[in-house]
Amino acid sequence: MPYVIAGVDMLIYMKDPSGLITEATIPNGTPVTTANLFAPCAYVTSLEDRSLYRNSGTAAAPVWEKASELRVATINLSAAQLIAMYTTPVQVIAAIPGKTIWVDSYDFTMTRTSTAFTGGGALRVQYSNTANGAGTGTSATIAATVVTGAAGVTYTHRINSDISDFASASVAGIGLYISNQTAAFAAGTGTAVLTIRYFVL
């Protein structure tokens, strides 16, 4: 049914048993933050650009975020971090309480110097700071040779892996980290940049 609040027309599709809106559309802009109008996790579509907004707050204090917004994070990795991340994974994206971070894809740019890294094992972007790359992986691993190769700059691209039937505790409210498997790298002086694209749901 039509509804007008704060001068904004709204078409309401669904309400919960307490009368709070759970699904609606608005002509443009972002939804209003009027208290006790929208249910937590309510969805509102803005017809202006077909953006879908989700209430990540409460009924009393709605917080609207684009439900399908692709986000980007960039992390610079020093030689010391590359060497230590076998036992001390490096945080890529901090945990978001009550949310799951879903990886779309990422790029790993490695700048190697004449002082090569030695040893080490495959790199992995994973959920949680589990040492030795033993967390729940988000994609195929990156070969250790990407880090240990000859001087120069290389690019590696990975897309997300299918995650099926994992317990919610494995991914919900868990941050993303980069670690590596098998053994630690040593000796090198190169650096890397990790650029990751992701959704928050």
Which residues are bridge partners to 23 per DSSP? 14, 43
> DSSP class of residue 100?
B
Give the strand order in the sheet containing 176-180.
90-93, 176-180, 123-127, 136-137
pLDDT at residue 6 is higher than 70? no
Q: What percent of the chain has pLDDT over 70?
A: 95
> DSSP class of residue 68?
T
Stated pTM of the model = 0.71
How many whole angstroms separate alpha carbon 73 and alpha carbon 197?
A: 7
The answer for residues whose C-beta is within 8 angstroms of residue 164's C-beta and 6 or more apart is: none
* Reported confidence tier of residue 9, pLDDT bands at 50, 70, 90: confident
pLDDT at residue 197 is higher than 50? yes
pLDDT tens, residue by residue, 34-51: 999 999 888 898 888 778
For residues 105-121, give the mean pLDDT. Answer: 97
Q: In the prediction, which pLDDT does 152 show? A: 97
What domains, with CATH codes, occur in the chain? 2-66 (no CATH), 71-200 (2.60.120)
pLDDT tens, residue by residue, 157-177: 998 887 777 788 888 899 999
Q: Looking at 2-11, 16-25, 89-98, which range is the least confident one? A: 2-11
